[in-house]
Structure 1
C-alpha cells in the first residue's frame, strides 16, 4: 500500500503547503548554523480526562482565518490517495483508522473562539471520539466529477472532524482510498505519517486482530505551540521584526506571465500540470548544489528567480515558500500543522552567471531561515499589510521543492497499492504554485494555477520554460542567465 504525499499549499495534491519532510532536513541543516543556546526538551502540558483547551499556534490562526475568508469553498486541505487491489477488510481498516486518530491529538481537535476573539484548539478525549470511514457507491472510475465532489466536501472546524478517509469501490477487488485532511490539522509530513501508521495497523488487524507496535509520540501540537511561544522572548521578537522589516523593505510581488484577467469575484478553480525533469538534468543539478554547498531546493529556487526575471524584466521578486519546523526528534512523529510560511526576496543585478545567482540566493536564504521563528502573520503585520493580505495579495506565487515518498505495506500482504498521483482536485490556493517534486524514480516540475489567471496552455508553457532553463543550467552552470544567446526562447510570453 502506498500513499501520495502532497506538499502544503498546492491543491492538486496538497494544501499552503507539501510533503515537508525533505524540506525539514534542509531547514534543520540551515538552522543548525545558529549560535543561540541549544534547545531544551519540549514539556508536555497538563491533560484532563475530558476536553482540553489550549492556545493555537499562529499558523493555525492563519489557516482558521483563511478558511473563513471564503466560506463557500474548502481549499485549505492536504490530500493523499491510493488505489488498492485485493480484498479490502473494512473492519480492519476502520480499526486502523481509529488507532491513528487516537494516537494523534491533531486529528481529534476542534476549534472555537472566545468572546474576546482568541482562537483555542480543543482536544477531544480519545475514548469518546471516533471518525467513521465514508464508504461510497462508485463503480465508474472515469467519473472525475463525482470523485472531485467527494474530495471537495467542506470541513466544519468547530464541529469536526478535521480528517476524512473515503473508500470508493471500483469493484470487489479494487478500491480507491482518499485521505482528506484540513490543513489546520496537518502538513504533508502528516499525510506521510498517517499513511505509514494506517498501513502498519491495517496489516496487523487484518492478519491476527492485534494492534501493531507503533512508535511512541512524546509531544503533541499543543505542547509544541506553547513551547515555541515561550521561546519567542520580547527581545528576540524585536530582533526578528527589525530583520524582516529591513529584509523585505523593497518587497516586490512577481509578475508571472498571466494570460487572463481575473474577475472581480474570487475564483479558486484551478488545474495542475506536470512535466518530468530528466534524470541527467537532476543529477547535474544535485552535483552543482554539492559543489556550491546548496541543496536542490536552493538550486531550483535560484533558477526560478531567473525565470521570473526573464518573464517580466523585473529584477526584484518576492515569493512565498513553506518552512517546516520538524527539525527536532520530538517533532518527527506527531501529526499537526508544524510549518509556517516565509517571504523570500532576491534582486538580480547586472548580467550574472548562474553560479553567482546561486551563491546570492543560498546566502540570503540561509539568513532568512536563521530568522524564521517570527510567525508569518507577524511579518505581514510588521510590513504594514492587512491580515487578509497574508493569504491573498502576498500569496501570489509560491515555490517549493519536495519529496513524495511511498509507504509500502509489509511484505507478503495480500493488498497491492498504486499511488493516485493526480487526484481530481480542481482548485488552487493561489494564482501560481510551482513545485519541484521528487517521487520514486522520477522528478517533476508541477505547476498549479488558477484558471482565471492562467490558461492551461500557459501553465504547461511555464513548466516547459522552467525545464528548459534547468536543462541549460545543468549543462553549463556558468551561463549568464539574463543575456546569453544560449538561453532558450520562452514559450510563456
Structure 2
C-alpha cells in the first residue's frame, strides 16, 4: 500500500488505479511518457459554436474537478497524485474552413483527431488530458477529448461531456459532494473479511494462468509486433431475443457472452480451464454522480469447460463465478502478493499474468449514447468516426517479450446492454482477420444455442463450428 498523503493536495492512488499503474510502469520502464488511450471521444457539433463560451466552460470544468489538475509525483511503485491549484486547460483549436479545400476538410479533421487521441501524456508534468476543436465550416466543428486512463474512466467520460455542455449553456452546477481523493481514501479501507477473500482467490487462481495452447496464424512466442485491430460483430439474435434468453437463463448478457467466449477459447485451444478477466465500476464508493475519476475494479472469472457438461451447467457456473468474483474483490497489490510471493521483488508485474483473455461488458454508456446525451446550445451533437487502428510497435525488451507471449488472445468487448453487438480486439501480428472473424462467429453462434440448457457443451461446439469452418488454423 502507498504511504499516507504528504499534503492536502497529494494523496495515494486508489486501489483501482494501482492495477492500471502497474501496467503503465511495465510498458514505459521508467519513462515519464505514457501513451494516450481510452477513454476518448470525438463528436460533431452542427450549428453555431461560440468559442468564447466554450473556453469559459472548459475553464470552469478544470476549476470544478481536481482530476483534471492531477499529475503523479514519481514513477515508483506507489506514487502520490498531485493536484495543482490551477492549470490552463489543454485546449487546441484548428481552423480548416479557410485553409483546406472543402472536399478534404472532414478527412483532415479525422487525421487531426486520430493524432490527438494517439499521442502521449507526460505523467509527471501533465496535463493528463487534451481537448481539440476543429472548425470544418462556420456551422460545423469537431470536438475531440482524450484522457489518461489514470484520471478518467468511461463512466467519467460521459459525465465530463454532459457537464461541459451544461456549463456551455450557462447552467450553474451545484458544488461537488466529493473529489476523487475522497474516493481514493475510501477505496483503501480494508475489508473486514480480507483473509477469507485471499483464500478464495488462492483457491480459484492457483496455479496462475500460463500460456493457453491456442492456435495462431503467426508466431506469438514472442510476437514481433504489437498492433491492435478491431473486428466488429453483431449477434444473430435480436436484442429482444437476447433479453428473453437472459431472463430464461437467469444470467446477464455479459455472463452469457463470457460463458460462450470461454467455451470457444477452451475448446479451440484444447484446454479445460480458462480464466477470463473483466472490470466492474465501483460506483458504490462514489458519492457524487458528477465526480470524475477512475473507478474500475478488476475481477477474474475461472471457467471449467467440460465437454460432457450441459450448457445450462456452464451458464450457472459462470453466473456463480462472476457474482463470487464481485463479492471477493481485493486490492490489486494484495491479490498479487497473495498469488506471487516474490511480487514486490519482480515489479512491475502487470495483471496479464492473472487471466487468459479479457471480456468487458457494457460498463458505461456506448459512445453513440454519450454523444446523443450531450448538448451544446443550439448545436446538434453526434458521434464523429475517427480512424482507430494502432501503429505497429516492435517488441524488443525481453521482459516485454515474455509478458506479451502470454497476452496474445483476442479480447471481447460488448457495446450495448443487450449484448447484441461489439468487437474483438486482436494483435494483427499474431492473428489474421479471417481467423478473428471466425472466432467471433463461433462465439456468437454459441451464445444463440444457450437457449437449450440440456444440450452438451461438446454437441454445441461441433454444431457451431461446422458452418463457420475454414482453412485457417482456428479449428
TM range, normalised to the smaller chain?
A: 0.7 to 0.9
Q: Distance in 2 between matches of 1:282 and 1:479?
A: 23
* Residues 20-419 of structure 1 aligned to structure 2 (within 5 Å): 52-71=9-28, 74-113=35-74, 118-125=78-85, 128-137=86-95, 140=104, 141-143=106-108, 146-202=112-168, 204=169, 210=170, 212-232=171-191, 236-253=193-210, 254-262=212-220, 264=222, 267-278=225-236, 280-328=237-285, 330=287, 332-372=289-329, 374-384=330-340, 386-394=346-354, 397-402=357-362, 403-404=365-366, 405-408=369-372, 413-419=377-383
Q: Distance in 1 between matches of 2:224 and 2:198?
A: 31
Q: Residue 231 and residue 411 in structure 1: after superposition, are their counterparts in 2 closer, same or farther (change >3 A)?
A: closer
Deviation of the 1:190 alpha carbon: 0.7
Q: Distance in 1 between matches of 2:129 and 2:327?
A: 33
Deviation of the 1:259 alpha carbon: 1.5
Please give the per-residue CA displacement for 1:64-99, whole angstroms capped at 9, x wherever unaligned. 343233337615431112122122222222222222
Aligned 8 A contact 1:288 1:477 in 2 = no
Deviation of the 1:319 alpha carbon: 1.6
Deviation of the 1:486 alpha carbon: 3.2
SS at match of 2:150: helix
SS at match of 2:122: coil
Structure 2 residues without counterparts, runs of 5 or longer: 393-403
* Residues 459-478 of structure 1 aligned to structure 2 (within 5 Å): 459-474=436-451, 476-478=452-454
SS at match of 1:169: strand
Please give the per-residue CA displacement for 1:37-58, whole angstroms capped at 9, x wherever unaligned. xxxxxxxx9998xx71112113
After TM superposition, the score normalised by the length of structure 1 is 0.78
Match of 1:435 among 408, 413, 417: 413
Structure 1 residues without counterparts, runs of 5 or longer: 1-44, 205-209
Q: Distance in 1 between matches of 2:239 and 2:439?
A: 18
Map of 1:32 onto structure 2: none
Deviation of the 1:242 alpha carbon: 1.4
Q: Distance in 2 between matches of 1:394 and 1:412?
A: 43
Deviation of the 1:317 alpha carbon: 0.3
Q: Distance in 2 between matches of 1:238 and 1:189?
A: 31
Map of 1:26 onto structure 2: none
Please give the per-residue CA displacement for 1:376-404, whole angstroms capped at 9, x wherever unaligned. 23322321164444244446521011141
Q: Distance in 2 between matches of 1:395 and 1:426?
A: 23
Comparing 248-257 with 306-315, greater Cα deviation is found at 248-257
Q: Distance in 2 between matches of 1:327 and 1:136?
A: 41
Q: Distance in 1 between matches of 2:213 and 2:244?
A: 31
Aligned 8 A contact 1:187 1:337 in 2 = yes
Q: Distance in 2 between matches of 1:461 and 1:215?
A: 50
Please give the per-residue CA displacement for 1:247-280, whole angstroms capped at 9, x wherever unaligned. 11244354554322147577432111212225x4
